[in-house]
Amino acid sequence: MKKGKKLYEGKAKIIYATSDKNLVIQYFKDDATAFNNQKKSTIEGKGVLNNRISEHILSNLSQIGIKNHLVKRLNMREQVIKLVEIIPIEFIVRNVASGSIIKRLGIEDGTVLKEPLVEYCLKDDALGDPLIAEEHIYAFEWASKKEIEKVKKMILRINDFMIGMFRGVGIKLIDFKLEFGRLKINGNDEVILADEISPDTCRLWDSITDKKLDKDRFRKNLGDLIPAYTEVAKRLGILHEQSNVSAVNVTKLSSVKKKHK
Ligand code: 5GP
């Protein structure tokens, strides 16, 4: 498959055209940003780990019937994905209160929610991805009621699956962000899961120690982001247990064949 011109560059990824108009290549960068782009850095190896972790999660979700944009991983930093029209909403799923909700509502960090809470944010960096109500989605026609009903059902299944997957490897899934896109399948409009699912887009705490294994290590200047992401990848069986953990050899680690595929 031929890599064509750059179509879009985001904060953590670049999208390239391919010779197939329905497919694009998603490249995972090492750039990290937080607080609406106010904090920026480059963390060597982050893109490699997110590519592998996201591939693992999306291919597992595909196996339980959650249609998503992943076609295949090409190499250390690239995946072939289906070209979709992204719904301009960030769907935030919370199992435990942390991050923006605790500041917004004065809730204690780590409060376990009785049921998963789904929040909607408008995907607009210039506005700082503001929280919106479901009614705003219909008022401004960002998505239809039918689409949101489908998305909500998918979100609950994705959340159940991911809670179980992470629980099995000693990790608590605190919250995460999902994006969905529109696609024509056999002439019908479908909504499928898009974007990445990785420690950049989830809060992941060690089940016993509550150690943060996600992008909060960057947001809160906790350091050791690569060892934390590597730990997630190892526990998920993507990297060998005995692999050395350091930013410099992440590139080598990434070529280690998957154990469980
Ligand atoms: P919060 O609203 O607490 O900042 O984020 C909730 C969850 O969604 C966290 O797991 C966070 O990583 C993810 N999230 C929310 N917005 C974004 C975003 O714009 N980019 C990324 N990578 N993750 C986000």
Q: Residue 141 C-alpha to ligand 1 middle, in angstroms?
A: 23
Q: Structure pTM?
A: 0.93
Exposed/middle/buried for residue 198 (C-beta within 10 Å: 0-12, 13-18, 19+): buried
Phi-psi category of 47—alpha, beta or left, where left has phi over 0 and alpha has psi -120 to 50? alpha
> How much is the pLDDT for 242?
60
> Among the atoms of ligand 1, which is closest to the Cα of residue 90?
16
Pocket of ligand 1 (CB under 6 A): 90, 92, 99-101, 129, 175-177, 200-203, 215
> Among the atoms of ligand 1, which is closest to the Cα of residue 123?
19
> How much is the pLDDT for 256?
41
Beta bridge partners, 119, equal: 92
Structural domains in the chain, sorted by start: 6-84+225-255 (3.30.200.20), 86-206 (3.30.470.20)
- Neighbouring CB atoms inside 10 A of 255's CB total 9
> How much is the pLDDT for 186?
83
> How much is the pLDDT for 104?
98
- DSSP letter for each residue of 10-53: -SSEEEEEESSTTEEEEEE-SEEEETTTTEEEE-TTHHHHHHHH
Nearest CA to ligand 1 atom 20: 201
pLDDT tens digits for the chain (261 residues)?
889 999 999 999 999 999 999 999 999 999 999 988 899 999 999 999 999 999 999 999 999 999 999 999 999 999 999 999 999 999 999 999 999 999 999 999 999 999 999 999 999 999 999 999 999 999 999 999 999 999 999 999 999 999 999 999 999 999 999 999 999 888 888 999 999 999 999 999 999 999 999 999 999 999 999 999 999 999 999 987 665 444 445 444 444 433 333
> How much is the pLDDT for 254?
41
Place of tokens 């409060």: 111
> How much is the pLDDT for 222?
97
For residue 136, what are its two tokens?
Answer: 């705003």
